[in-house]
Structure 1
């Protein structure tokens, strides 16, 4: 074996096994913490784990379950497991008692195997519960028994219904339960957006998802933005991690990479309209009540689907722009413009 390959192999093994060792150490530290926590809780209080660690759109979509599970466990201690980068969504949720920012899947697996939690609701299925560093998947017998996996999940309904199914939660349908997602914005988020002094009215734009098959070509986005700026009096504010529009215009503002998730939600809440993809920010738009135009297409095995519950799930306060069996990238500029023109040309901006 050449020296360079030998060094690379053992470097990889060192990082992998040191990561696994740390995951086990952190798991047992957390076990001790939760043992002490249980002793401090009132007698009879159960420790309940809710596991939905990513992505932030999925966490927003799952938010109604926090309210429903609180109704099932009014006196228990509810702990939501989440990746650290998304914990701000959970920290401010008043229906939860605690956030557990997990290190990785292995840490969670070891911690849950200790039995310190009296009840566990796994809102994830095996295909999306993986640590690439440990090369470990977390199995979910409930979702396996139901046949929920990456190839079938949208056959079971919108994301909230899928997560309830994978968690073994028999959540009644509306109107018995409220399936409208919410985000819990704080004064600090409002103050941050006040400081931006955004010109009103404005349209929020989100052009890149975290999964390429959900995306729309960037040249079409550029044409759409120029059309919006030429035809309508709105400011256009782009949000997301990064922009590749390359636009310069006095009524275009790029906020990509400058806001937290909940600061982004506050910007979306103040917008007249949201235009974006099936991605995290569209779930924020649904949760904040902003009228949305969502560019969607066929996705893998699903020729048509709707990931949303609440208003967007009922196609209220939104237009889902799609064509049966056509991927998002296949939507023409005209197909996207038509519903936007129909709504924006009808009158005043949305409140």
Structure 2
């Protein structure tokens, strides 16, 4: 906004009103279905964004999971438009630098993203379709995708050595999701009981930004790496799991990318049909208020998460380990 410009306030107000109107129209389009959204927004003969010679893309959300959900879209654009120069603006630039479908990766900043297309899924909540499908619609694609692209990365030598010392099958848990909402948090007592059951049979590795168990007393089969890894090491560690256990989080998306069986604690914040992930066992509680997408504290004391019992989760983990072992034996 130019200082001293008598029309600056009017220009800013008009820009805000235009954005508001565009969002209202886009919300209306979303209820027309995936095909309807694409055809209403870019009717023939107008070119759809994926058909352009150059694209600058970024994820609306800043988490690693939100950015990994963009990877099927890169793959589909490359398939349909092989010569397109695709630039991705990422908060985790080094994770995507070797993605085979990208032409360039740049660090995300609001200024850099000013002329980029945001791949977003949150114009209508709860989302009416899988999140990847809604994100793909932002570039004019009608896309269903059940597999994210696995990052091509190398871990640090110290992490590789430490993981090599943990016997398999390794169960990797991510007890805590991001701070975006408190309504994904399975109770501490439930996590504690689950770990107590799992370490009777397996080695359990905790990952995340900080440990849920500051003074764990689970014995020598419990290993906490929480708060000790870079994003690259975190991702690589998950690729070494027999089974992943956690809430809807970055770990869930990473497990899908590497085809790692996962046990996901949805509770009632999100609905499982938002993610078409074939390797996931989903614990969803269909209470009246679910899916809520609530970012403020739950007024019902997280009854959807308290309804998930540790023994049921433990059985799902054991079943996933045994199924995975059978597949490996047959390969």
Query: Residues 307 and 98 (structure 1 numbering): CA distance in 2 closer, same or farther, change over 3 Å?
Result: same
Aligned to 1:170: 141
**Match for 1:333 among 301, 310, 317?**
310
DSSP-derived class of the 1:81 partner:
strand
Give the alignment of 1:210-225 within 5 angstroms. Answer: 210=178, 211-225=181-195
Q: Is the 8 A contact 1:62 1:163 kept in 2?
A: yes
Offset of residue 339 of structure 1: 2.5
Say yes or no: does 1:152 pair with 2:140. no
Partner in structure 2 of residue 49 of structure 1: 56
Aligned equivalents of 1:236 and 1:349: distance in 2? Answer: 20
Per the alignment, do residues 96 and 290 of structure 1 end up closer, same or farther by CA in structure 2, a change over 3 Å counting? Answer: same
Alignment-derived partner of residue 181 in structure 1: 148
Partner-residue secondary structure (3-state), 1:327: helix
Structure 1 SS opposite 2:149: coil
- The CA deviation at 1:265 is 2.2
Structure 1 pair 195–339 and aligned structure 2 pair: CA distance change class (3 A): closer
List runs of 5+ in structure 1 lacking aligned partners.
Answer: 1-44, 113-119, 128-147
2:98 corresponds to which residue? 92
Q: 1:342 to 1:195 in 2, by over 3 A?
A: closer
Residue 208 of structure 1: how far off its partner (Å): 0.2
Aligned residue for 1:189, secondary structure, equals coil
Give the one of 216, 222, 229 matched to 1:247: 216
Structure-2 change in CA distance of 1:122 and 1:103 (3 Å): closer
**1:9-158 maps to which residues of 2 (within 5 A)?**
46-52=53-59, 54-83=62-91, 86-104=92-110, 107-108=111-112, 111-112=114-115, 120-124=116-120, 148-149=123-124, 151-153=125-127, 155-156=128-129, 158=130
List runs of 5+ in structure 2 lacking aligned partners. 1-51, 288-302
More helix by share: 1
The number of residue pairs the alignment matches comes to 255
Distance 1:124 1:282, change over 3 A: same
Structure 1 distance, partners of 2:236, 2:87, is 26
Counterpart Cα distance in 2 of 1:51 and 1:347: 35
TM-score, normalised with respect to structure 1: 0.65
Q: TM-score normalized by structure 2? A: 0.69
1:81-134 Cα distance to aligned partner (Å, 9 max, x none) = 223xx2223222121111221333xx246x42xxxxxxx532026x6xxxxxxx
Question: Are the aligned partners of 1:214 and 1:327 in contact in 2 as well (CA < 8 Å)?
Answer: no
C-alpha change, 1:281 and 1:172, in structure 2 (3 Å) is: closer
Q: Which moved more, 1:210-219 or 1:255-264?
A: 255-264
Give me the whole-angstrom Cα distance separating, in 2, the residues matched to 1:56 and 1:329. Answer: 27
| Pair 1:179–1:69, CA change in 2 (3 A) | farther
Change (3 A) 1:350 1:253: farther
Equivalent position SS for 1:296: strand
